[in-house]
Each structure stands twice: as structure tokens, then as C-alpha cells.
Chains A and B, each alone.
Chain A
């Protein structure tokens, strides 16, 4: 059965800290791995990764995929209270019309 596992499930840090969120997957017909940020309701897109070893970067956020070891990490540097949210990892597969999500990591950034 396809699985997407995120760790840790929750994390509390202070402003300015750097955090690393993990996502491992075991899926058939892997096509892509996506990261979303969910603050209140709608998940908002952060990154899509399809190739190993190529870092995607947006401001203080970056992510990389390892297709050999079947995992991805999301890094956030110099965290701010506005980074507090649930971060979701999702996998897209060939011949499937849905995304398979992990349970998410709840990040709390304290002032």
C-alpha cells in the first residue's frame, strides 16, 4: 500500500531557528513530490520536486528530493512566527488522478 510519512508530527521552535521537516514515501509509479503550507484551511503550494538532488528555493524555504532513498526535506531558515502552520507533503503518481498526502508536521514558532 502506498505510504507517505512525515516527521516530526509537531515541532516547537523560537524565532530565528532553522528547522528541517522530513517526508518519506513508498508509492508505486512515483511522479512528483509536493510541499504545501496549511495555516487555517486551504493548503497553499510551496514546491514541486520531480528530480533528485536539485534544490528548490524560495526565500527562506528550500527543499530537495532524494529518489534513491525515497525522501524529501523542507528547510526553513530564520523562522518567523508567520511560519507557524501545518506543512503537508504529498506525492503524485502516474496513472492516478489524486495526490497521496502525509499527516503533516505542525510547526509552531514562538517569539
Chain B
């Protein structure tokens, strides 16, 4: 079975631009979570989506938004990019929403904001 996939793998943007990151979960997984990992830090939770509804949100500004599609894939959108948004963005999927311990991580999208 294919694991969690993310696209693109790398991305370079300039301040003020908008970015969309994509994630396809493992087949049969209905929960998708997004994490931001700044260099030298651990992943920080941004959102969880389950059955197309937002089920959890971390301490991130409204510039960050996400959605989940009927096929359970997900998009993370970031508006008005700042230099500090440069990070590895990880997507994780799990079968259920209440047990993030069972989640599998994708390879991430590395975003550089210049």
C-alpha cells in the first residue's frame, strides 16, 4: 500500500504570496493532520480534519486554512506568507480521529519564503 503522499516536495515563494500544499492519506484513513516543523524544532500541530470537518486547530493565525475533500485528501493554504513560515510542512493520516498515536507521516513539503 502507498503511504501518505505530499506535493510538492519543495517550494520557494516570496513574502506576501499565497501557497497551497497537498496531502493524500493512506487508503482507508479518514483523518488528516497538518504540522509545521521549523528548522531545529519539533513538529507543531496546525489542523486536524476528519470526515471533511475541522476537528482540531493549533495556535496558528487565520492566514492558515485547510480543507478535506470527499476522497479524504487535504489541502493546506497559507496566505500573506511571512519569512517565518519557512518550514517543513508535514501531513499525517490515521484511520480514526481520536488517536493521533496511530498516525503515519508523509515526507513533507519544504517551503522557503524569501
Contacts and interface: CB of A to CB of B under 8 A. Distances in A.
Contact of B56 (A6, A43, A92, A98): A98
A92 B107 contact: no
A1 to B, nearest CB: 10
Contacts of B84: none
Main secondary structure of the interface of A (DSSP, over half): strand
Interface residues of B, number: 29
Contacts of B41: 103-104
B40 interface: yes
Interface in B69-114: 88, 90, 97-101, 103-108, 110
Interface residues of A, number: 24
Given A97-B33, A97-B98, A88 B43 contact: yes
B107 A41 contact: yes
Contact of B48 (A43, A90, A97, A101): A97
Given A42-B90, A42-B108, A98-B33, A34 B101 contact: yes
Contacts of A88: 42-43
Contacts of B108: 41-42
A99 interface: yes
Contact of B105 (A31, A42, A100, A104): A42
B86 to A, nearest CB: 15
Interface in A84-98: 88, 90, 92, 96-98
Given A43-B43, A103-B42, A97 B101 contact: no
B55 interface: yes
Interface string B7-51: 000000000000000000000000101010000111111001010
B45 A98 contact: yes
Q: 5 closest pairs, A vs B, by CB? A: A101-B42, A98-B45, A97-B56, A42-B105, A41-B108
11 contacts: A32-B101, A41-B107, A42-B105, A42-B108, A43-B43, A90-B42, A98-B48, A99-B45, A101-B35, A102-B42, A103-B42
